[in-house]
Amino acid sequence: MSLTLTAAEWGELWGESWEQTAYSPAHEPFVQNCQTPAAIGSGTFQSINLYPGVWFGIGRRTHPDATIIKFPEAEHPVQFCFMLPGAWVDSNDGQLSPARTMISSSDIQRELASKVIADRGEIFLEILMLPDRLAQFFPDASGQLPAELNFLVKGDDWQTLIYSPSTPAIQRTVQEIVTCPYQGFEKRLFLQGKVHDLIGLQLMAMLRDSCHDPSGNRGRLPVPHRLKPETIARLHQAKDILAVQLQQPPSLSTLAQQMGMSERTLQRGFRTLFNTTVMDYLTQQRLERAEQLLRQAATDGLPSTRTVTEVATMVGYGNMGHFAAAFKRRFGITPSQCLAGKLAAFE
């Protein structure tokens, strides 16, 4: 026997439960507890506000019947999930279990169904994070999000779901969190440290798992194409327009209007078809064109008649600081060094 609910029905059941049983102990104002809705099973769920924009949740539940939740297309935060006893499976063949953890990027979650397997006892951990908080947790040397993690905060694109292997270190850390011996402020300090460690361990396991796959895509669920032929043709046309209008490109809204589609369709379609965002593609084209112009000036012996400022303007940059920073990130050298004939540090 199974219970099937829409996301709205699932949310309504939990909303009623929060209204009836939610409370914050006086010594733990950052904690909220509620009872599992009786229609779903029995148990508790605890939500803890660890930092501004970062929440940790732990559910201890029993599901007498399998429960299927149908989620519509919707916006989604960054999410990290773990399971001790119990298992969830989704309609994309992904499974969250003691052996597999889940990472979901921010962006737009596709329509999917998630099935909670009937069991006698489930312990479910989740960490929800606003996208801009991830760079503060794991910054690179410049304080930005490392390139390896950019897929987690792509913007208004399709969400990426990754199911990666759990490890003994992850399982130990999960168990330490579940059996946290502290209360009050000490509890919050303990969980802040453990959650940081847990996300780091999960990301390392995911990256290592990807390294064993030549495609670098191991554990990531395939994204259905679902683009109509006419939409594909319009997206290619939009790409061509951007490539030839670097100095004064149309705005997203104008480009979408020219293509006869919404901004959201334009952005999602661009990501699906070209594996990049509209703005990232425009930036890439601008920088590559700038490098060509600077190389040509250096080769022709024309540095005195073509300045870095002129090249920046030709490719649409009005701020020299932004241009120089973006150019160095892309090629590993400054525009002035490129004009002087220095080779790029990397491609």
Domain ranges of the chain: 2-211, 229-339
pLDDT computed for residue 102 by the predictor: 92
Does CATH number 1.10.10.60 belong to domain 229-339? yes
Q: In sequence order, what are the residues at sequence separation of 6 or more whose Cβ sits closer than 8 angstroms to the Cβ of residue 289?
A: 246, 314, 315
Answer for the pair 81, 195: CB distance below 8 angstroms, yes or no.
Answer: no
Tell me if 2-211 shares its fold with 229-339: no
3-state secondary structure of 5: strand
Pairing outcome for strands 66-71 and 2-6: parallel
Answer for the pair 298, 339: CB distance below 8 angstroms, yes or no.
Answer: yes
Residue stretches of the chain with pLDDT short of 70: 1, 22-24, 155-157, 210-226, 300-305, 344-347
Sign of CA dihedral 90, 91, 95, 97: positive
User: How confident is the model over 101-115, as pLDDT tens digits?
Assistant: 999 888 777 788 888
User: How confident is the model over 163-215, as pLDDT tens digits?
Assistant: 888 999 999 999 999 999 999 989 999 999 999 999 999 998 888 776 544 34
Decide which of 2.40.128.110, 2.60.120.810, 3.30.450.20, 3.40.50.2300 is the CATH code for 2-211: 2.60.120.810
Q: How far apart are CA 136 and CA 178, in angstroms?
A: 25
pLDDT computed for residue 250 by the predictor: 92
Angle at 296 between CA 292 and CA 299, to 5 degrees: 140
Q: In sequence order, what are the residues at sequence separation of 6 or more whose Cβ sits closer than 8 angstroms to the Cβ of residue 23?
A: 32, 33
HSE (side-chain half, CA atoms, 13 Å) at 108: 16
* CA distances to 133, 135, 145, 172 from 141, in Å: 16, 11, 9, 30
Residue 244 identity (one-letter amino acid): V
